[in-house]
Amino acid sequence: MPTLAVNNFNIVVSVLGGWISLFGLVSYLCKENFYLSEALISLLAGVAFSPPAANFVRPLDYTGSQENLDAVILYFSRLVLGIQLVLAGVQLPSRYLKKQWKPLSLLLGPIMAAMWLSTSLIIWALVPNLKFLHALAIGACVTPTDPVLSNVIVKGKFADHNVPRELQQIIIAESGANDGLGYPFLFFALYLIKYTGDGGVAETGGAGLAMGLWFGETWGYTIILSIIYGATVGWIAKELLHWAEEHKYVDRESFLVFAISLSLFIVGTCGMIGSDDVLACFIAGNVFTWDDWFRLETLDDSLQPTIDMLLNVSIFMWYGAVCPWSSFVHNSVIPIYRLIPLGIMVLLFRRLPWVYAIHKFIPQIEEVRQAIFVGFFGPVGVSAVFYLYITLEFVRTLEVDGLVRPDVEHLAETTLVVVWFVAIVSIVVHGLSIPLGKLGFYLPRTLSRGLHSPTDGHELTPPFSLGNRVSTFIHGRGRSRRNSEETSTPMTGQSTSSRPVYRIGGTVIPKRSGSPVLTTRQRTARNGDVHDTDPDSSPGTPGPTSMSPALPGPPGRTIRFPDEQPTTEQTEAKHQVDISKQSAVS
């Protein structure tokens, strides 16, 4: 007799698959019309499924202990960062790091150092009884800008319409490189805490040993070795793929997935030797497409963005479920009335003043508003959580007689609360900034249009809408769906639609002889959109219409998604329809 198996695996798989499917149904509407990031939406979904809410996702039950859960969060973050940074390196044009080394040096040198110091000072000022070295360690965790959340401003319709291509590229390069360069800032503080701790309980060696390890181990072994290793692996991979493609040894599927498999290899091997796998992945991705060959070959492919979307949804759902929400209110280190202004001040003063001060020396930032834009959108996310759990792992090693050293007794809790809170605030604020900005720009005009609209029933844009694009999208989709339904004659049952009917695979089903064909204007009149018919229109010839016709997809496909560019013929046809619409309204 069958029995129910409501175990953890079945619950997690069903929740994850169901959420991705539901989000996919409205993904274009959320991301391209309402400008909501998938990170924010997935984070909220993770909160809804977490133990304090629906209790569908129970991370602590899966891992058995808090220490195992911390390890899972760290490794999951490493995996996502590794794949994302290889893809970020592949997106950059040929020899980008070599050509743009001057502006990148400014962003990764003085600006990143200023971000670290300013963030540390804010944390030191607002967290009671916190030592400055501890504040430096916590500030280093949230210093790097997150490449996952940066996709909100470098991909999609908003970026295409508002962010110049050169500015998008410098943001991608900076967010990819400074993730790996967070190690020197973090371990500068951690080594000093370990060897110069207060109370005379620190390990022997003092500041000299700490600085020796910082230069030798952190800069030499972790940073420089990872750059050399990433560049070597990326170049060898590029040459091998060139050779395999020239000899016709590699199929299309393996070709497209090569960059992702390369990231997995680098994450694993760098993890085994203890080097900086995050930085190595970004360098490998850029060297892998040094000649621009792989980037151009996969420019129109959707596999990499698909993997990117799956990772984003999964990681932020997981973060929503594992985030220590109750610790924000109930902790022994910082009250909530200090934690809230800390998060706000970090977002305002961590990056914005320094980018604004130096923007004239960065050619990609041409205007003051671009400097404010780049300075504000420096999100904190996956990379901060990654460095958080590296810090917790390091602090656990600071013991005396099996007990945590007294000088670092509260460091782990303070780091956990502050870094998680700043990351959550950044995800929410940066996820809502663009839609709220758009709402603030369009709402006064739509309110004015609604208050002064004519009373004859001919207004074209409904009031209280988030811009014309959203209303046009919803209105057009509703009408196109009605008009796409084929009508049939009562006697013959034959199709009366003039649109071409596609089979699966893209071939066109020919019309049967003798089937009546309605013009576009006659079809729209039947649906109530236009109340007269064009007597001069012949069967199969579209007449003037008040709606845009559904355009066929690219060759070989039965549909065209909203974010795909139409062909020249489709653009000309839509232009003629717009002219006809204006004349019909007038």
Do 545 and 404 share a structural domain?
no
* pTM, rounded to two decimals: 0.77
- Does residue 204 have a pLDDT over 60? yes
Please return the burial class of 281, using the count of CB atoms within 10 Å of its CB with bins 0-12, 13-18 and 19+: buried
Q: Which of 143-152, 167-176, 238-247, 493-502 is predicted with the least confidence, judged by mean pLDDT? A: 493-502
pLDDT on residue 433: 85
Domain assignment present for residue 373? The answer is: yes
Domain assignment present for residue 441? The answer is: no
Do 556 and 412 share a structural domain?
no
Last residue of a domain, one of 390, 411, 433: 433
pLDDT bin (cut points 50, 70, 90) of residue 462 is very low
Overall number of domains in the chain:
2
Last residue of a domain, one of 384, 414, 433: 433
Rounded mean pLDDT, 277-296: 93
- Does residue 544 have a pLDDT over 80? no
Percentage of the chain modeled with pLDDT above 70: 73
Do 71 and 181 share a structural domain?
yes
pLDDT bin (cut points 50, 70, 90) of residue 562 is low
Domain assignment present for residue 423? The answer is: yes
Do 176 and 45 share a structural domain?
yes
Domain assignment present for residue 555? The answer is: yes
Rounded mean pLDDT, 267-276: 93
- Does residue 289 have a pLDDT over 50? yes
Domain assignment present for residue 141? The answer is: yes
Rounded mean pLDDT, 349-366: 93
**Mean pLDDT for the chain?**
80
Domain assignment present for residue 374? The answer is: yes
Last residue of a domain, one of 415, 433, 451: 433
Q: Are the beta carbons of 536 and 512 closer than 8 angstroms?
A: no
Do 171 and 39 share a structural domain?
yes
463-492 pLDDT, tens per residue? 333 334 434 444 444 444 444 444 444 444
Which residue bears the tokens 């690219």? 554
SS3 509: strand
pLDDT on residue 44: 94
- Does residue 561 have a pLDDT over 50? yes
Do 541 and 405 share a structural domain?
no
SS3 541: coil
Q: What is the 3-state secondary structure (H, E, C) of 34-81?
A: CCCCHHHHHHHHHHHHCCCCCCCCCHHHHHCCHHHHHHHHHHHHHHHH
Residue 520 is inside which H or E element, if any? helix 520-526
Domain assignment present for residue 585? The answer is: yes
| Alpha carbons 321 and 178: distance in angstroms, whole number | 27
Rounded mean pLDDT, 2-11: 83
What are the C-alpha distances in Å from 5 to residues 18, 55, 518, 572?
A: 18, 17, 55, 57
Range of the domain at 21: 8-84+101-204+303-433
Do 198 and 66 share a structural domain?
yes
Do 403 and 538 share a structural domain?
no
Around 39, how many Cα atoms within 13 Å sit in the side-chain half-sphere?
24
Do 162 and 23 share a structural domain?
yes
Do 169 and 43 share a structural domain?
yes
Do 559 and 416 share a structural domain?
no
- Does residue 414 have a pLDDT over 80? yes
pLDDT on residue 498: 47
Q: Are the beta carbons of 24 and 30 closer than 8 angstroms?
A: no
Rounded mean pLDDT, 196-201: 63
* Residue 377's CATH number: 1.20.1530
Domain assignment present for residue 385? The answer is: yes
Q: Are the beta carbons of 373 and 424 closer than 8 angstroms?
A: no
